[in-house]
Amino acid sequence: MKLLKVDTIASARDKSVRVMQKKGIQTVYKKLLEAQGYILAGDIVSQEPVPAFNRSTVDGYAVRSGDTAGSSESLPVFLECVDEINMGCPAKKEIHAGECAYVPTGGMIPPGADAVVMIEYCEAFGGSNIAIYNPVSYGKNVVLAGEDIDQGEIVIKKGTRIRPQEIGAMASLGITEVLVFKPWEITIISTGDELVSPHITPSPGEVRDINSYSLYAQAQKHGLTVLNKVVQKDNEQQLKEAVMQAMQVSDVVVISGGSSKGKKDATNQIIDEAASEGSFIHGLALKPGKPTIVGYDENSCTLLTGLPGHPVAAMLVFELLVIWVWRHMTCQPADSSLFARITSNLAGAPGKMTCQLVKLIKQENGFYAEPIFGKSGLITTLTRADGYILIEENKEGLKKDEIVEVFYI
């Protein structure tokens, strides 16, 4: 029997990133309207200045600003309106001294003009005579071409998870197909003789399968694709077949349950056999999350992960390891987190990192993090949680009011 040395979460991440870098990460083009939530696979660089032409930010008269000097409520300046710019049309006629042109909000500023007087300060006086009651300075109410974005400027960075505003910005740049990282395709296998479908009323000793549902939704939340989810009895042969089949089509196979040292636990052995070079993680120095197995098969280029069967531990390890590796490889910025004061003393676990669920309480002087305890640690501790904190393995614990970093979950 192999000596099973556990890994810290940091070393497990390192090892997993290294094998997944051999595999590499694919990119794919998505239509702009379908790109929300995907991760940009390259910087978005503007091919043109934005705006493309000098535009008015108000409805009014485009003028040479010098012409309006000295105008006032009682002593207007009179200019001759020589053009009316229509939305969407080029402004071709040059404005000379003593002239102006009507321009709507967003309309093009005609050559010669360098400012716009808001329509509220103007009055039409028969024919083409316009009285201007307010002076404007150079550039007033005008956005110059390229003022918002220079040609060649990076507008959105690689690794950005695309939000509505990024979709709007790309529309403005004429980008209608977006190069994004191709989401990993995942198969989820939930194992255990006690598991029955949520559709069934369990008999004594049986429980409804949670993990294939929660991990499915968690993968989906982070933009990954779930090819298939199955519930499998703890039968080594059947489980092995399910894993081998999943490896042919998946980037990642997630097996939950069966990775601790109980009598019927077969996951470790199956991953060790299925992975071309055996499993390389045999437990995490993480509480909860110890019974975690990871291997990589070079033939099918598949990451094989055995997560704890415990629903909370399964979700936390999936988040801390699999999702972390995905985020890292797709150049996403660090997990969004915030600092908060812990509301009670909290013990660490000697030699292990502790992942503690917390509820956030917002106060004007900052956030407080209230630890969520639950003896059984069943899934409802997670429904009450806003996030989690990590207590380092070399730390005895936390003192009430100590500042902690809270990661959302």
Element (H or E) spanning 340, and its range? strand 337-342
Check binding of 237 to a copy of itself (CB under 8 A). no
Q: Which is nearer to a copy of itself, 19 or 91 (CB)?
A: 91
Contacts with a copy of itself in 135-164 (CB under 8 A)? 143, 147-149, 155-156, 163-164
Residues 6+ apart with CB under 8 A from 258: 191, 192, 234, 239, 264, 265, 266, 267, 306, 309
Distance between CA atoms of 147 and 336, rounded to whole angstroms? 31
H/E stretch holding 328 reads helix 324-329
270: tokens are 């199956």
Which of 68, 66, 55, 54 lies closest to 117 in space, CA to CA? 68
Instruction: Tell me the one-letter amino acid at 310.
Output: H
Exactly one of 74, 203, 237, 394 binds a copy of itself (CB under 8 A); which one? Answer: 203
Torsion angle in degrees (nearest 10) through CA of 335, 337, 343, 347: 30
- CB 167, CB 181: distance < 8 Å: no
Q: Which stretch binds a copy of itself (CB under 8 A): 9-17, 51-59, 235-243, 267-275?
A: 51-59
Q: Which stretch binds a copy of itself (CB under 8 A): 14-22, 103-111, 241-249, 293-301?
A: 103-111
Q: Does the protein bind a copy of itself through residue 382 (CB under 8 A)?
A: yes
Site for a copy of itself in 289-328 (CB under 8 A): 309, 311, 315
Contact call for residue 263 and a copy of itself (CB under 8 A): yes
In the complex, least distance from residue 400 CB atom to a copy of itself, rounded to whole angstroms: 17
**What does the DSSP 8-state code read for residue 273?**
H
From 67, 166, 251, 297, residue interacting with a copy of itself (rule: CB under 8 A): 166
168 binds a copy of itself (CB under 8 A): yes
Provide the minimum distance between the beta carbon of 70 and a copy of itself in the complex, in angstroms, as a whole number: 26
Distance CA 208, CA 214 (A): 12
Does position 378 interact with a copy of itself (CB under 8 A)? The reply is yes
Beta bridge partners of 230: 189
Q: How far is the CB of 260 from a copy of itself (least distance, A)?
A: 6
Note whether 228 binds a copy of itself by CB under 8 A.
no
207 touching a copy of itself, by CB under 8 A: yes
Cα end-to-end distance, the chain, whole Å: 37
Window 54-83: contact mask with a copy of itself (x via CB under 8 A) = -x-x-x------------------------
